[in-house]
Amino acid sequence: MAADPVEKEDESEGGPVKSFLEHLEDFRWVLIKSLVTLGLAMLVCLGGGNYVVKILRWPLTHAPVHYGGTNQIAVVNFGTNHLGNFELSPEQQKMLNLGTNRFVSVEIEPVTVGTNQILGWRVTNDLQAIAAAQRMDVNLINLSPAAGFFVAFQVAFYAGIVLAGPFIFYFVASFVFPALKFQERKYVYRAVFIGGGLFVAGVSFCYFVLMPLALAASQMYSNWLGFGAFQWRAEDYISFVCRFMLGMGIGFELPVVLLTLVKLGILSYRSLRGMWRYMVVINLILGALLTSPEVFTQITMAIPLYLLYEATVWVAWYWDQPDRSRARRTLWLGLAIILAVAILLWMAWEYAWPKMHWRWGLS
């Protein structure tokens, strides 16, 4: 390890003063500890890879499937086996007479007619089967003997980064923070706390809201082009999901970057307020780069990014006020309005959008 520091400055001026070689030695130990921690985390995640895959598959099992037109959908089961979901033509609907509901579950069962046994059908209205028919059913497959090992390593790598991330951050912080001044440390602590929360919010938004929509859109466009979309390569799916969530987490870091530039004097409240048109375009570009190549998904990401930008503008305005005690009420009012808009958009997403059934030719 590096030798003890030879000199120490005043706490307001930064941490201990070391030579270049001593800093290099400290940096070497940071790399060693980070790599060892990442390796151990990967081993742990490799042992629990099946549980990690279940977590990554959740958006796939909750992605909605939208059927085109108004034809009736029959969910056909035989005992405990699901035979498939079949779109009935108007003639078939009239002949089978399964009712007037858009989705209907049908049970195939043996029927005795005289001395003969034939297969008949019975309407069961199984709500669980009907709900399952409206979610994607895609199998993740490996197409080579070695693919399973590569997928396991891929899963362990991404999950290991998440598991070892806090420890690696602690090692890096223990190397960097002693060189910061007391005032700089205070700003860094705030940025880390807010940035961490925004990153988690971005990943959660992608995982629970955006990812199921993007996966459903992917299958929809494949079917529209005439390709089957019932089997995907496991490595492609895992790579797509992990990079998608990482990109969303980074996209939600935009307020931290902008407010840091405001603190450094590079930007101000007036400049932020004047560049809102450019931010609309930038958010749409980020939505195109960080999401799937599908317009609705990109807009769904761009909207929360712009709401975060508006919250950033309000904070910058608050910092620009000479009397912050009087401006605090206005700040909280502005943030409350932004939160209310976000809640209204979420309610529209939850209640209004499912009733529209993708009527603009998307289903």
Domain ranges of the chain: 73-133, 139-356
**pLDDT tens digits along 280-337:** 888 888 777 776 666 777 777 788 888 889 888 888 888 888 877 778 888 888 888 8
* pLDDT number for residue 35: 94
pLDDT band at 357 (very low <50, low <70, confident <90, very high): very low
The pLDDT of residue 68: 64
Residue percentage of the chain with pLDDT more than 90: 7
Question: What pLDDT score does 61 carry?
Answer: 84
DSSP type of residue 64 = B
More confident call, 184 vs 262: 262
pLDDT at 69: 67
Residue corresponding to tokens 């399973």: 148
206: which 2 tokens? 């992608």
pLDDT digits (tens, 9 = 90+) for 38-64: 999 999 999 888 899 999 999 888 887
Give tens-digit pLDDT for 236-262.
889 888 888 888 888 888 888 888 888
Task: Give me the mean pLDDT over the 2-30 stretch.
Answer: 66
For residues 217 and 240, what is the distance between their CA atoms, to the nearest angstrom? Answer: 14
Can you tell me the distance from the alpha carbon of 131 to that of 137, in angstroms, rounded to the nearest whole number?
A: 12
213-232 pLDDT, tens digit each: 788 877 777 777 777 667 88
Buried b (16+ CB within 10 A) or exposed e, 316-352: bbbeeeeeeeebeeebeebeeebeeeeeeeeeeeeee
Q: What's the pLDDT band for 361 if we cut at 50, 70, 90?
A: very low
Residues counted in the chain: 363
Q: What percent of the chain has pLDDT over 70?
A: 88
Give the per-residue pLDDT at 279. Answer: 87
What's the pLDDT at 362? 41
Q: What is the pLDDT of residue 1?
A: 45
**Residue of 80 and 199 predicted with greater confidence:** 199
- Confidence band of 18 (pLDDT split at 50, 70, 90): confident
Contacts of 301 (CB under 8 A, 6+ apart): 210, 248, 251, 283, 286, 287, 290, 291
Please compute the mean of the pLDDT values over residues 119-136 and round it to a whole number.
Answer: 80
In this prediction the pTM is 0.75
Neighbours of 51 (CB within 10 A): 12
**Tokens linked to 33:** 């500890």
pLDDT for the residue 14: 54
**Which two tokens mark 105?**
């579950």
Given this model, what pLDDT does residue 38 score? 93
Tens of pLDDT, residues 323-342: 777 788 888 888 888 888 88
Statement: residue 13 has pLDDT above 70: no
